[in-house]
């Protein structure tokens, strides 16, 4: 059994603190927390660790860190964490969409065809994202995000099933050793069958909407190599 001590921070009445004395050895931190709070979602634990609301021996920790007997897990603002956890929306439509669009999975990765308009990872003013729903697609899974796609971009996104695979894939993406290929249907006929588009693009808010525009002052160029697969006739109906 775990020893749980509940106390109130003297300077912040609403900052209730729970201190947990670890009584086991070589157990992942996130799994130990879920033993005590089985209803806490994995994404809630991860976010609380990143924000420093959950600490081990008064130090920030990662979900994959191992805890041992005698160590202390401190959870600040537990009410806030539990409320955030309980108020998280279960978007059944999006969960089903993700399940239906699983392209491939094995013991190392899960690949999903992301639709345009779907956000990969949460942020400011983001109510729901794929990262919030991954534990609803596959029970008792601890997926890792290794790359992202913009909200308005559709395509394949890969999630790792463990930390070592995530590290390897992130290094591959960073080293540009993983190739991304997109198929697009466009209006208008390009003058060449293949070529390269190389412009300094940045995201800007114009009239309240986020748009991608050319900015000559941008230090980074967005390079796209294209080739025409087929030319289709356009039939107009009046």
Q: How far apart (Å, rounded) are the C-alpha atoms in residues 76 and 83?
A: 13
150 is catalytic: yes
Residue ranges of the chain with per-residue pLDDT less than 50: 1-13, 87, 89
- Sorted by where each starts, the structural domains of the chain and their CATH numbers stand as 3-87 (3.10.290.10), 92-174 (3.30.2350.10), 183-238 (no CATH)
Which of 24, 30, 57, 150 is flagged as catalytic? 150
Q: How far apart (Å, rounded) are the C-alpha atoms in residues 213 and 204?
A: 7
pLDDT in tens, 126-163: 677 787 777 777 766 778 889 988 888 889 999 998 88
Instruction: List Cβ neighbours of 202 (8 Å cut-off, separation of 6 or more).
Output: 212, 213, 215, 218
DSSP the chain: --EEEEEE-SS-TT-EEEEEE--SSSEEHHHHHHHH-TTS-HHHHHHHHHTTSEEETTEE--TT-EE-TT-EEEEESHHHHHHHHHHS---HHHHHHHHHTEEEE-SSEEEEEEPTT--SS--TT----HHHHHHHHSTT---EE-----TT--EEEEEESSHHHHHHHHHHHHTT-S--------SS--SSSEEEEEE-EEEEEETTEEEEEE-TT-SS-EEEEEE-----PPPP--
Task: Measure CA 156 to chain center.
Answer: 14
pLDDT of residue 124: 59
pLDDT of residue 107: 92
């Amino acid at each position: 059994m775990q020893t749980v001590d509940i106390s109130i921070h003297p300077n912040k009445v609403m900052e209730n603190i729970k201190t947990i004395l670890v009584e086991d050895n070589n157990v992942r931190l996130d799994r130990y927390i879920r033993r005590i709070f089985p209803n806490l979602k994995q994404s809630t634990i991860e976010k609380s660790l990143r924000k420093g609301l959950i600490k081990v021996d008064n130090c920030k920790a990662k979900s994959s860190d191992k805890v041992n007997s005698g160590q202390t897990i401190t959870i600040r603002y537990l009410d806030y964490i539990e409320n955030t956890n309980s108020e998280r929306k279960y978007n059944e439509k999006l969960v089903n969409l993700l399940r239906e669009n699983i392209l491939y999975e094995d013991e190392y990765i899960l690949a999903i065809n992301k639709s345009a308009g779907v956000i990969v990872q949460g942020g400011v003013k983001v109510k729901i994202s794929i990262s919030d729903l991954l534990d609803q697609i596959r029970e008792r899974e601890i997926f890792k995000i290794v790359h992202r796609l913009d909200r308005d971009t559709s395509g394949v996104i890969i999630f790792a099933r463990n930390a070592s695979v995530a590290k390897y894939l992130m290094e591959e993406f960073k080293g540009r050793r993983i190739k991304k290929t997109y198929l697009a249907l466009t209006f208008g006929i390009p003058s060449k069958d293949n070529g390269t588009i190389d412009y300094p693009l940045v995201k800007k808010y114009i009239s309240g909407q986020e748009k991608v525009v050319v900015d000559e002052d941008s230090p980074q160029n967005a390079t796209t190599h294209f080739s025409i697969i087929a030319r289709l006739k356009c039939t107009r109906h009046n």
